[in-house]
Structure 1
Amino acid sequence: MLRFSKFAAAASVAVSVMMGAASAQTVLRSSDTHPDGYPTVEAVKHFGELIKERTEGRYEVEVYHSAQLGQEADTIEQVRSGVIDLNRVSMAPWNSLVPATLIPSLPYLFRSPEHARNVMSGPIGEEIAKGFDQHGVVLLAFYDGGARSFYNSKKPINTLEDMKGLKFRVIQSDVFVDMVAALGASATPMPYGEVYSAIETGVIDGAENNFPSYESAKHFEVAKNFSLDEHTIVPEVFVMSKASWDKLTPEDQEIFKQAARDSMEKQWELWDARVAESRKIVEAAGSQITTPDKQPFIDAMKPVYDKYVNTPELQDLVKRIQETEG
């Protein structure tokens, strides 16, 4: 009987230790509007794997893709208030909160995806990231959001004149609304998840996005005309709730920062492969890809730049971005 009691006591201690270990694990929820398999979703999964490994299982990341936790505007509020821990969204919806994010959202600012990556992963990116701190989030990484172009259900766009009279969905950003207006078209901000049906029913004529989004959301089924004007290369942001960040030790904060940077480089690799694959898919499905002369489109942006690049600080930021190699 004594021997059994000792065994029972030892077992009880073992169970207690195991339960303590289990309760010590923190599961962090991360949101993304894109579908499973999309480069940003896979990059955050990679981030989670690195976190789990480097914290020896103390932290784990659950990725909720396909807007399971809401559309971008909703999840931004959730991460700011600490309802969710991590969030991958476009930079553009932050324009009204973080003024410096307006600059990377400007049309025709970046010469190429490589140029955008060099800018956002360097000192300029760190400078812009600091502006998020006062809004309840910590910016962990900038992902590549790809070059955005116009597509529509009506006609190919070969010239600036072809833009006139068309109605395009844009993300909820004043810069995007003004950009479309400067090109002679009409802009309708609406959630990403409503675009397909809006084009199908004629509420709008088209939208603007990159090849992977155009393909994965099946927009190519209802808008066959894709104009490769590459008007913006707006970075994506991967942010963490300040409430969740402040619970980390300084050592764990460094682990999270490095894992985010590693996931950023992973995302670039995945992105390049996905762009090539998506273009091949939509072309095979019958999409017409046209490449208009960009210069008239660029020239039409003067009022947009005059409106938003309106302080010496912002003018200097534009100048430094343009001077960055890439």
Structure 2
Amino acid sequence: MSQTEAPPSFSRRQTLVGGCAAATMIASGCSARVGDALTATDTHVFGYPTVQAVIRFGEILSERTDGRLSLKMYAGGQLGNERDTLEITTFGGLDFNRVNLAPLNSIEPLTKVAALPFLFESTEHMRTSLDGEIGEEILASLEPHGLIGLCFYDSGSRSFYNTRAPIRTPDDMRGLKLRVPGSDLYVAMVQSLGADAVPMPLDEVYQSLAQGVIDGAENNWPSFESGKHFEVARFYSLTNHLLAPEVFVMSKISWDKLSASDQALVRDAAKQSVPYMRKLWDAQVEKSKAIVLGSGVEVNEVEPAPFAEAMTGMWDRFIDNDRQRGLVERIQALRKGGGA
């Protein structure tokens, strides 16, 4: 049976797991194991759809092995931010990790394809593109980097929010200090709109907004709501510039310790968790949207074309080899109208 450790039991960076501090797992070689359970981490809070999907993944493993394989989940960023835990995962200190595409962009160039602004025309288009061979190719590209890509989870449509005033055109963004995930692609995306990009872990955004360290950020409805960012950033502009997915990965070191039959089971359980996650995600989007709207946040519909036009130049900067361009073309061909 899957387990989730209660957030109050741990400090964020100095969590003790199996006798080792999370901050020193890599150096000590200690694995983050609790008994015989496999371990997983997610920066989102316990009730977030990605966390629940990974827990469901663990339940499937346990059910199909009569408890021989089980999972312990550390949610809410208990073991650190995504860059920290991703490094721990590559060294085998954690077995599973749910991460955003951003920290993977600096590791594997193919992951940049799915992070391009305005590449996917809809959620349906994104899911269709990544559920098949295109998605499998991107996931497989992580293995040389010590990670086994298992599946993609939805991360919704990302839009800009800030503490100052409505954003209706790119001109409204000039001079704003906006938080982005730690990725050169995200930095360039915000800079192309005339704003100042501030790379920052997700768990630091609320305080930075409240203290005026940053003016705003960009994210989906559930993250805007669950992180309480809407309490201080009262202007949310629906640019819908990104439909980049989340990624569920396993440490290759841990993977190589499994039998071939258990590896197949892990892959199948991960795939089974995807429709479960999507059902939770779609419901959470509506719930979060209702909470935000009910709080009085000013939500603005915008014309996306000027934002897309401002970002076109950055595509060539980050898509610079034939393999990447081939994936982009295949994704564009899956649009309802076909082509770019």
Report the TM-score when normalising by structure 2: 0.87
Alignment check: 8 A CA contact 1:144 1:235 kept = yes
**Which residue in the other structure is 1:217 paired with?**
227
**Which residue in the other structure is 2:166 paired with?**
156
CA distance in 2, matches of 1:278, 1:102: 28
SS at structure 2 position matched to 1:108: coil
**Runs of at least 5 residues in structure 1 that lack an aligned partner in the other structure:** 1-24
**Which residue in the other structure is 2:77 paired with?**
67
CA distance in 1, matches of 2:261, 2:148: 16
Please identify, of 202-211 and 113-122, the stretch whose mean Cα deviation from structure 2 is larger. Answer: 113-122
Shift of 1:228: 0.6
**Which residue in the other structure is 1:315 paired with?**
325
Report the TM-score when normalising by structure 1: 0.91
Alignment check: 8 A CA contact 1:55 1:252 kept = no
CA distance in 2, matches of 1:285, 1:218: 11
Percent identical:
49
Kindly provide the amino acid, as one letter, of the partner of residue 257 in structure 1: R
Kindly provide the amino acid, as one letter, of the partner of residue 179 in structure 2: R
**Which residue in the other structure is 1:86 paired with?**
96
Kindly provide the amino acid, as one letter, of the partner of residue 39 in structure 1: P
CA distance in 2, matches of 1:34, 1:270: 14
Q: 1:47 aligns with which of 57, 74, 84?
A: 57
Alignment check: 8 A CA contact 1:92 1:234 kept = no
Q: 1:170 aligns with which of 180, 200, 209?
A: 180
Aligned length: 302
Q: Larger helix proportion, structure 1 or 2?
A: 1
**Which residue in the other structure is 1:259 paired with?**
269
**Which residue in the other structure is 2:10 paired with?**
none
**Which residue in the other structure is 2:14 paired with?**
none
**Which residue in the other structure is 2:46 paired with?**
36
Kindly provide the amino acid, as one letter, of the partner of residue 239 in structure 1: V
Q: What are the equivalent positions in structure 2 for 1:263-278 lying under 5 Å apart? A: 263-278=273-288
Bigger relative contact order (CA 8 A; separation at least 6) = 1
**Which residue in the other structure is 2:130 paired with?**
120
Larger radius of gyration: 1
Q: 1:283 aligns with which of 288, 293, 296?
A: 293
Alignment check: 8 A CA contact 1:118 1:325 kept = no
Kindly provide the amino acid, as one letter, of the partner of residue 157 in structure 1: I
SS at structure 1 position matched to 2:330: helix
SS at structure 2 position matched to 1:29: strand
**Which residue in the other structure is 1:192 paired with?**
202
Deviations 1:149-202 (A, max 9, x none): 100000011112111111100000101100101001110001111101111111
